[in-house]
Amino acid sequence: MDRRLITSRLLYNNLKIKIYRIIILPVVLYGCETWSLTLREERKLRVFENMVLRRIFGPRRDEVRGEWRILHNEELIEKNEMGWACGSYG
């Protein structure tokens, strides 16, 4: 899948999250019923999801410094009103 779809400014963020949940996440989690999920693998899944959410929401301008920066994990959770875009992994 082309990442330009996720970073496009022509689509609303909630539509991008739906695309992530319907198309991308099933591919990533294919066969997960047979996994014995370790903490390391769960962390990798969280890192992947945060990476996708950062691409969806894009950089933000820091109000104090006036510089562009990426969103912190806490901000991603706040901006993503559904919490984790995919729910829980376990």
pLDDT of residue 84: 47
Residue 10 lies in a domain: yes
Within-domain flag for 15: yes
- Mean per-residue pLDDT, 15-35: 87
Residue 89 resides in a domain: no
Q: What is the number of structural domains in the chain?
A: 1
**pLDDT for 69:** 92
37, 39, 56, 65: CA torsion to nearest 10? 180
Q: Over the range 21-57, which residues count as b (16 or more CB within 10 Å of their CB) and which as e?
A: eeebbeeeeeeeeeeeeeeeeeeebeeebbebbbbbb
pLDDT tens-digit series, residues 41-87: 889 988 998 999 999 988 989 889 999 999 998 888 887 665 444 44
Q: What is the pLDDT of residue 77?
A: 81
Query: Does any domain span residue 85?
Result: no
What is the domain extent for residue 10? 4-79
Query: Which has more pLDDT, 13 or 90?
Result: 13
Distance CA 47, CA 1 (A): 19
Please report whether residue 23 resides in a domain: yes
pTM of the predicted model, to two decimals?
Answer: 0.75
Residue 5 predicted with pLDDT over 70? yes
